Amino acid sequence: MQWTGVFPAATTQFAPDLSIDFAATQKVLDNLIGDGVHGLTIMGTCGENNSLEPDEKLKVLAASCETAKGRVPVIVGVSELTTPRAVKFAADAARIGADALMVLPAMVYVPKEAELVAHLKAVAAASDLPIMLYNNPTAYRVNISMDVLRELTDVETIVAVKESSANTRRYTDVVNAFGDRYIMMAGLDDVAFEGLTLGAAGWISGLTSAFPQESVELVEALQKGNMARALEIYRWFMPLLHLDAEHDLVQSIKLAEQIMGRGNERVRMPRMPLTGARRAEVTAMVEKAAATRPSAR
């Protein structure tokens, strides 16, 4: 498992009746691989994990692994209401062929730190797959604190942290506290540049689903030390990257995919497609970005 480069937070595609469109989902993933991404993150927030039934999750994972065919690693979200359900899914994911797990706190319930540690340790014990913890205190009301990370240092399979808070100081704090124990991954699009320059090894990206080539070039420019080119792309990208920090990020990203001819905007309730002024606003942003995209080099 190589934790470097761009890992789009891929969407799950739905048919008009809102059943899973497996062919369309596989096409989305295959196109992303063809555009040069370094891995796939499936069934995270953008993949609408918590809108899928248990059997659907297994089928989406199997279809994703079939599409990847070992060309890039597949990271799958583990996002469940209870610890036993999360443990079961982690074991199933290993059996089906996932390369790594992105593990969230249990949904809905806000745990005490001891409960959070116990949950994460239980999921880690369910398989030998490497684990990336998903820290998103704004969306999920749970912060994977420094004390929690300290309690998990002896769990060898917990190797990475997706940092989706806007607190960029975390990158430095984690390194200062733990050295190279945890691989940091930038997880919030509109501070991804900051995270990558502060030591993140890669980017788990939402808007890459609409603009994969620019996302890959941004990270590669930083890896090559071409700060001017990286800033050019980042500043062009920023209006769209802000969408990743909004509560309607899934609808916005799927609409962007649709406008760019890369997918459809259908989502499952309680989410609903954007309408009215918000839809017009996001559409205008995507169309402007498409018309002004940095020329490929």
Residue tagged active-site, from 57, 88, 109, 134 = 134
Per-residue pLDDT at 295: 74
Per-residue pLDDT at 79: 97
Per-residue pLDDT at 139: 85
Per-residue pLDDT at 296: 57
CA distance 275 to 281: 10
Annotation marks residue 162 as catalytic? yes
Q: Which residues contact 118 (CB under 8 A, 6 or more apart)?
A: 83
Q: At what angle do helices 212-223 and 227-241 cross, to 10 degrees?
A: 140
| Domains of the chain, each with CATH number or no CATH | 5-292 (3.20.20.70)
CA distance 136 to 224: 29
Beta bridge pairs of residue 6: 203
SS (H, E, C) the chain: CCCCEEEEECCCCECCCCCECHHHHHHHHHHHHHCCCCCEEECCCCCCHHHCCHHHHHHHHHHHHHHHCCCCCEEEEECCCCHHHHHHHHHHHHHHCCCEEEECCCCCCCCCHHHHHHHHHHHHCCCCCCEEEEECHHHHCCCCCHHHHHHCCCCCCEEEEEECCCCCHHHHHHHHHHCCCCEEEECCHHHHHHHHHCCCCEEEECHHHCCHHHHHHHHHHHHCCCHHHHHHHHHHHHHHHHHHHCCCHHHHHHHHHHHCCCCCCCCCCCCCCCCHHHHHHHHHHHHHHHHCCCCCC
Residue tagged active-site, from 57, 140, 162, 254 = 162
Annotation marks residue 134 as catalytic? yes
Residue 204 annotated as part of some ligand binding site:
yes
pLDDT per position in the chain (297 positions), as tens? 899 999 999 999 999 999 999 999 999 999 999 999 999 999 999 999 999 999 999 999 999 999 999 999 999 999 999 999 999 999 999 999 999 999 999 999 999 999 999 999 999 999 999 999 999 998 889 999 999 999 999 999 999 999 999 999 999 999 999 999 999 999 999 999 999 999 999 999 999 999 999 999 999 999 999 999 999 999 999 999 999 999 999 999 999 999 999 999 999 999 999 999 999 999 999 999 999 999 755
Quick: pLDDT tens for 167-207: 999 999 999 999 999 999 999 999 999 999 999 999 999 99
